[in-house]
């Protein structure tokens, strides 16, 4: 059965300083000694969670995308995290899924954090990005999306002439700037998403204080499909690599075929 090796980077971010953040993250990525296939950065990794897109946004040919393309090629990895992007007159909190050959996919955060005014500055996305790596299907989402389980819910369909299901994804991935004061919700909901979707869940959060004096404790996690925590780190910078095994996932889904009892639904744009 296939494996997928993932490296998550939990780091402090210098407020609205792209040069400093990209330099620091580049050092961390280049220092990864293990063979890894996917490297995950936090939400708005080049700026922190800023509500000033008019000043900080780039287009899809800007320096941060070039930085991601160059590093992905140099390390032969998939590199992902979200950045502030402008298209025409709209601004997006956009997750980039950069492949080592320079091609990419992207996902625009659907659920904007109105509590902090994100809905006043950024346009909501309306389409999920489902991607595949070595036969692993992955659904990447962004921060506040975690609070809305319908957006991440599996919609399984039985395979023809089989007792097994064709599930939409194997890994659910969240990149975030999730504040320490709501860390209980972060940790609880990550485990809930793993259990209810019978998938690995990866949550990558930042640490440190942002420009609004909001503290972040990290609490980045990797969780198995039963909700067991495989990795967790709080209040410290860390670069952690873990190999996920498809046979473990398949075994859990066969042993506990809860997908058979799932409700059928559709999401309207």
Is residue 43 annotated as part of the catalytic site, yes or no?
Answer: yes
Pairing of strands 171-176, 136-142: parallel
237 contacts 41 by C-beta, under 8 angstroms: no
136 contacts 108 by C-beta, under 8 angstroms: no
Choosing from 18, 109, 187, 233, the catalytic residue is: 109
Choosing from 143, 180, 187, 233, the catalytic residue is: 143
Rounded to an integer, what distance in angstroms lies between the CA atom of residue 98 and that of residue 139? 14
Is residue 137 annotated as part of the catalytic site, yes or no?
Answer: no
220 contacts 201 by C-beta, under 8 angstroms: no
Is residue 109 annotated as part of the catalytic site, yes or no?
Answer: yes
Choosing from 43, 58, 168, 180, the catalytic residue is: 43
End-to-end CA distance of the chain: 36
DSSP-derived secondary structure letter, 150: H
Rounded to an integer, what distance in angstroms lies between the CA atom of residue 72 and that of residue 7? 13
Catalytic residues: 43, 109, 143
């Amino acid at each position: 059965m296939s494996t997928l090796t993932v490296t998550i980077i939990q780091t402090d971010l210098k407020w609205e300083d792209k040069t400093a953040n990209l330099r620091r993250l580049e050092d961390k990525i280049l220092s990864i000694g293990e063979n890894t296939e996917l490297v995950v950065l936090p939400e708005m990794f080049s700026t922190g969670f800023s509500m000033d897109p008019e000043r900080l946004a780039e287009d899809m040919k800007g320096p941060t995308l070039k930085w991601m393309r160059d590093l992905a090629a140099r390390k032969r990895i998939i590199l992902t995290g979200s950045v502030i992007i402008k298209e025409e007159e709209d601004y997006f909190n956009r997750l980039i899924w950069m492949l080592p050959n320079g091609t990419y996919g992207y996902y625009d955060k659907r659920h904007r954090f109105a509590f902090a005014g994100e809905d006043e500055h950024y346009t909501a996305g309306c389409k999920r990005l489902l991607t595949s790596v070595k036969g692993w299907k992955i659904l990447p989402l962004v921060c506040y999306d975690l609070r809305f389980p319908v957006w991440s819910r599996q919609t399984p369909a039985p395979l023809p002439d089989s007792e097994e299901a064709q599930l939409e994804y194997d890994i659910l991935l969240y990149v975030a700037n999730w504040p320490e004061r709501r860390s209980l919700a972060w940790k609880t909901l990550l485990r809930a998403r793993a259990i209810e979707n019978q998938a690995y869940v990866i949550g990558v959060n930042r640490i440190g204080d942002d420009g609004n004096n909001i503290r972040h404790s990290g609490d980045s996690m990797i969780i198995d499909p039963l909700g067991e925590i495989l990795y967790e780190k709080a209040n410290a910078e860390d670069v952690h690599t873990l190999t996920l095994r498809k046979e473990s996932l398949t075994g859990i889904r066969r042993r506990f075929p809860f997908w058979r009892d799932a409700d059928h639904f559709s999401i309207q744009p």
